[in-house]
Structure 1
Amino acid sequence: MAAANVLYGALLVPTVLYIADITRRRRSRLPPGPAGLPIVGSLPFIDPNLHTYFAGLAEKHGPILSIRLGSMVDIVVNSPQLAREVLRDQDAVFANRVMPDAGDAVSFGGVQNIVGNPVGPMWRMLRRVCVHEMMSPAGLASVHGLRRREFRDTLRYLHSKSGEPVDVGAQMFLNTMNVITSTMWGGTIESESERAAVGSEFRALVAEVTELIGTPNVSDLFPALKPFDLQGVRRKMERLRSRFEVMFTKIIQQRMKSDGGDTSTDFLECLLKMEKEGGDGKTPLTMDNVKGFLLEMVVGGTDTTSNTVEWAMAEMLQNPEAMNKVQQELDSVVGRDAVVEESHLPQLHYLRLVIKETLRLHPPVPLLVPHSPSADSTVGGYHVPEGSRVLVNVWAIQRNPLVWNEPLEFNPERFTVDGGGHKGDFSGSQLDYLPFGSGRRICAGMAMAEKLTMYSIAMLLQAFDWKLPQGEQLDLSEKFGIVMKKATPLVAIPTPRLSTPELYCS
């Protein structure tokens, strides 16, 4: 009987909130939006591809809209002007996050790290470590050798698959995962077999984490039901966190036993040094922070980067003239008697245009990480309640026909002077182009993501020609999730184009 009363009470709360929501809409002038149903709101009507669903609602209700999903009210912004109000003009108010229950469950010791941490001393310290030390030009240069090692391994593997169909996205996921784990702690694990074993286990764990975070969770839609964990998402995520804990503890212990020695420089060395010194002098950096930071970099950097590479390759296979231009540029800068290196990347101007256009059409996180105002606010003349979830529909903004000429066309030249001259600045200063976000919560790993994406595509196109398997049609449809993927994996056949086979094994 007691359990029934508790469940009844839990179900009563959403009903009360629904009535309160209707009253609040009338009194506080929330943005317009679909009315929805009692208790569940608009849940029965949503399309799984939320970015296109919200863009469709914006055509009916306007560029800012409110929608109730369960007992939660979401505010969705679909225009550059309103994105500026949220991310720049009122950046300080909207700088906090709303994290899913699964994201909280996988954190170490309740630490939410850079993405989920509210703005404050801890967030500022972690972001400073990431952006100004680890992801700075000097920081990235210090782990160049570790990145190069992993790229050469991938080059050898792809050469062994010459003439055979290759799942491009899956292979780039493996490459990106290996590169990121190597630059995080690769100097600790010197054995190639051990490195492969650790990488394999991480790949499996990261796949499970991203799947759980992307799973619609009753606990997020009805926070009153969170203690019941009705779908078991939190329990599953806590088990995954325990497995990460074991792996990180082993890696950290190996590093600490080495006592510096001949271990190669990597980001773990930087973190452990700060942990030993007590942080930045104002805020301590704990071992839980170190573990959480490593996890965040691995989970947050793999899918986003590898998917961008896959989308770029798919768009160029659909638009072979663009692929030919990238390869001609590579032949001019590098030639075919050597393998492309990171040092060549600044000279690959057309490749950079291709990446800009790929990120315009296929932003890795189409709705960004949700923002949450720390006080009642006004956007576009409408009331935005404190603590609500605010989504910026980057996908819709970057396809806005009022801003972009022929917005659905893949046209890298639009970022040249002759093609319209849009700067395509990754800094988020132009609110009609913000694939990495904008304001103080702009992606902390942007520098590494840009470098890995350029290096990956340059390697794929300098070393190989690519074609679809005979009879296969290219599918550019999208699948919404925590990261936007191709609905159908890109499978293509590589053919070597370097002058000698020995270059693939160097």
Structure 2
Amino acid sequence: MDADVPLHLLLLVPLLAIIPLILFASRRLTPPESSGVARLPPGPWALPVIGHLHHLAGAIPHQALRDLARRHGPLMLLRFGEVTAVVASSPDAAREILKTHDPAFASRPVGPMSRLWPGLSLPDLFPSSRLAMLVSREPGRIKRCRREMLQIMDAVIQEHRERKAAGEGEAEDEDLVDVLLGLQEEVGSQHPLTTENIKFVMIDMFAAGSETATTALQWVMAELMRNPRVRHKAQEEVRRALAAHRRVTEDVLGSLHYVHMVVKESLRLHVPGPLLTLRQCRSPCQVLGYDVPPGATVLVNSWAIARDPAHWDAPEEFLPERFDQEQGGAGRDFKGTDFEFIPFGAGRRMCPGMTFGLAHIELALAALLFHFDLELPADVDAAGLDMTEEAGITTRRRSELLVVATTLVPVPE
């Protein structure tokens, strides 16, 4: 029977079999842009269910993400459970997210992943799972903390209202709560300042502001104790500027140029919030040529950017003089225009408490340098001072900093 089949038909059979293989191979080799498929950022290998979470297990998150970025590029796509995250680890990626496409990334993730570390819980990883909400204790704990904080704020507001009603206190003694309560009476009904608004402004100021400033001050003191040359130079500047004074005041800060550089260099090495405040992509856009999916949580690793040897000389060294333009240093600042240095973020979502936080840090630092001579305990070597980080709401020192303080100028009562 086979002898009756024409030769050309026999040759046609393998050709017909090869055609589907050619079509399949051509589709696989076609660039995603031309095939209509999203060109997503690269990333490491993932596991079922948990995604890329195992790459961060037991590590400081911003350090682990920096190491991953060195292997996979400045823009990575990661998955934590059900949640998609995009991580930016270069000035160019940060510029596109925080400036070029600022409106697309102006949203904040609410609920899941709004606080990536620490205390990551099942509802953060699997927000659609009702079982995760039922099993986890985290939602109940958060509600209790919120209720307790608001009760404290209620008591503070009530105390201020009673004091004002009784006619106690002078105008110069007014604090933030008094100012907010006064504004509540002045603003129109179209945009009312409610008591609930006042409570959350207070929480933001005293919780977010004080925690980050305290952490930053701990790090700058640790760097000064590790670098006696820098400490003595900063101390000389403070005492020269305050020679005719008995206390540090805010109007003196403008003349403390070296102290300002010391704080900048400490913020470069030890940004309190290394992943900035999380953002969320709310509309399709491209970053560095990659498609960022709507709904993705976006992290900008400002810690990794500020230690990148491609943009900083001797990035691991504490050198305040690198910011001294008169000595040929970089003119970079942290006000959101130099994306190599963004401890406060950039764009419309830049930290609104930057000025308040800086004044807090510089006033406290200048006061310590003015009133006290500071030394490490005799059994502690400056070069061997533990500078290990600990992950938390802010990135704090793992160990306490012990300093011997000798009073030089008495602190006014």
For the superposition of Structure 1 and Structure 2, which TM-score range results when normalised by the shorter chain?
0.7 to 0.9
Identity percentage over the alignment? 35
Pick aligned residue for 2:85 from 53, 74, 81: 74
Q: Which runs of 4+ in 1 moved over 6 A?
A: none
Taking structure 1 as reference, are residues 233 and 278 closer, same or farther at Cα in structure 2, changes over 3 Å only? Answer: farther
Larger Rg: 2
Pick aligned residue for 1:348 from 256, 264, 289: 256
Residue 279 of structure 2 corresponds to which residue in structure 1? Answer: 371
Name the aligned partner's letter for residue 44 of structure 2.
Answer: P
Pick aligned residue for 1:61 from 53, 66, 72: 72
User: 1:338, CA displacement in angstroms?
Assistant: 2.1
Name the aligned partner's letter for residue 33 of structure 1.
Answer: G
**What is the distance in 2 between the residues matched to 1:225 and 1:361?**
39
1:458 aligns with 2:363: no
User: 1:417, CA displacement in angstroms?
Assistant: 2.1
Residue 306 of structure 2 corresponds to which residue in structure 1? Answer: 398
User: 1:486, CA displacement in angstroms?
Assistant: 1.1
User: Residue 331 of structure 1 aligns to a residue in which SS?
Assistant: helix
1:238 aligns with 2:249: no
Pick aligned residue for 1:440 from 338, 348, 351: 348
Gaps spanning 5+ residues in structure 1: where?
1-22, 105-211
**What is the distance in 2 between the residues matched to 1:417 and 1:68?**
42
1:423 aligns with 2:331: yes
Residue 476 of structure 1 corresponds to which residue in structure 2? Answer: 387
**What is the distance in 1 between the residues matched to 2:134 and 2:351?**
30
**What is the distance in 1 between the residues matched to 2:182 and 2:290?**
48
Map of 1:188-267 to 2, 5 A cutoff?
A: 214-225=118-129, 228-259=133-164, 261-263=167-169, 264-267=173-176
Map of 1:42-191 to 2, 5 A cutoff?
A: 42-47=52-57, 48-100=59-111
The farther-off stretch of 327-336 and 312-321 is: 327-336
**What is the distance in 2 between the residues matched to 1:43 and 1:35?**
10
User: Residue 68 of structure 2 aligns to a residue in which SS?
Assistant: helix
User: 1:46, CA displacement in angstroms?
Assistant: 1.2
**What is the distance in 1 between the residues matched to 2:332 and 2:366?**
20
Taking structure 1 as reference, are residues 103 and 404 closer, same or farther at Cα in structure 2, changes over 3 Å only? Answer: closer
Check the 8 A contact 1:219/1:230 in 2, yes or no.
no
Residue 304 of structure 1 corresponds to which residue in structure 2? Answer: 212
User: Residue 104 of structure 2 aligns to a residue in which SS?
Assistant: coil
Check the 8 A contact 1:76/1:392 in 2, yes or no.
yes
Name the aligned partner's letter for residue 447 of structure 1.
Answer: T
Check the 8 A contact 1:352/1:454 in 2, yes or no.
yes
Taking structure 1 as reference, are residues 93 and 282 closer, same or farther at Cα in structure 2, changes over 3 Å only? Answer: farther
User: 1:299, CA displacement in angstroms?
Assistant: 1.3
Map of 1:1-12 to 2, 5 A cutoff?
A: none
TM-score with structure 1 setting the length? 0.69
TM-score with structure 2 setting the length? 0.84
Residue 411 of structure 2 corresponds to which residue in structure 1? Answer: 504
**What is the distance in 2 between the residues matched to 1:52 and 1:224?**
29
**What is the distance in 2 between the residues matched to 1:103 and 1:43?**
16
1:489 aligns with 2:400: yes
**What is the distance in 1 between the residues matched to 2:134 and 2:292?**
29
Residue 17 of structure 2 corresponds to which residue in structure 1? Answer: none
Name the aligned partner's letter for residue 176 of structure 2.
Answer: F
**What is the distance in 2 between the residues matched to 1:294 and 1:410?**
35
Listed one character per residue, the Cα deviations across residues 121-151 of structure 1 (whole Å, up to 9, x for unaligned) are: xxxxxxxxxxxxxxxxxxxxxxxxxxxxxxx
**What is the distance in 2 between the residues matched to 1:254 and 1:39?**
51
User: 1:99, CA displacement in angstroms?
Assistant: 3.6
Listed one character per residue, the Cα deviations across residues 182-206 of structure 1 (whole Å, up to 9, x for unaligned) are: xxxxxxxxxxxxxxxxxxxxxxxxx
Map of 1:269-284 to 2, 5 A cutoff?
A: 269-277=178-186, 282-284=190-192
User: 1:480, CA displacement in angstroms?
Assistant: 2.3
**What is the distance in 2 between the residues matched to 1:34 and 1:102?**
20
**What is the distance in 2 between the residues matched to 1:103 and 1:92?**
19
**What is the distance in 2 between the residues matched to 1:51 and 1:72?**
18
User: 1:422, CA displacement in angstroms?
Assistant: 2.0
Name the aligned partner's letter for residue 241 of structure 2.
Answer: V
**What is the distance in 2 between the residues matched to 1:391 and 1:71?**
16
Gaps spanning 5+ residues in structure 2: where?
1-31
**What is the distance in 2 between the residues matched to 1:286 and 1:459?**
37
User: 1:471, CA displacement in angstroms?
Assistant: 1.9
User: 1:324, CA displacement in angstroms?
Assistant: 0.3
User: Residue 231 of structure 2 aligns to a residue in which SS?
Assistant: helix
User: Residue 76 of structure 1 aligns to a residue in which SS?
Assistant: strand
Residue 202 of structure 1 corresponds to which residue in structure 2? Answer: none
Check the 8 A contact 1:55/1:78 in 2, yes or no.
yes
| Structure with more of its chain in helix, by fraction | 1
Taking structure 1 as reference, are residues 286 and 265 closer, same or farther at Cα in structure 2, changes over 3 Å only? Answer: same
Check the 8 A contact 1:28/1:383 in 2, yes or no.
yes
User: 1:462, CA displacement in angstroms?
Assistant: 1.0
Listed one character per residue, the Cα deviations across residues 292-334 of structure 1 (whole Å, up to 9, x for unaligned) are: 1111211101221011111111111111100000111112111
Taking structure 1 as reference, are residues 229 and 453 closer, same or farther at Cα in structure 2, changes over 3 Å only? Answer: farther
Pick aligned residue for 1:291 from 196, 199, 211: 199
User: 1:343, CA displacement in angstroms?
Assistant: 2.2
Check the 8 A contact 2:91/2:305 in 1, yes or no.
yes
**What is the distance in 1 between the residues matched to 2:114 and 2:42?**
30
Check the 8 A contact 2:246/2:412 in 1, yes or no.
no
User: Residue 94 of structure 2 aligns to a residue in which SS?
Assistant: helix
User: 1:421, CA displacement in angstroms?
Assistant: 2.9
The farther-off stretch of 251-260 and 460-469 is: 251-260
**What is the distance in 2 between the residues matched to 1:470 and 1:336?**
33
Check the 8 A contact 2:112/2:127 in 1, yes or no.
no
Equivalent pairs counted in the alignment come to: 370
Taking structure 1 as reference, are residues 337 and 384 closer, same or farther at Cα in structure 2, changes over 3 Å only? Answer: closer
Listed one character per residue, the Cα deviations across residues 380-424 of structure 1 (whole Å, up to 9, x for unaligned) are: 111111111000010011111111111111000000125543223
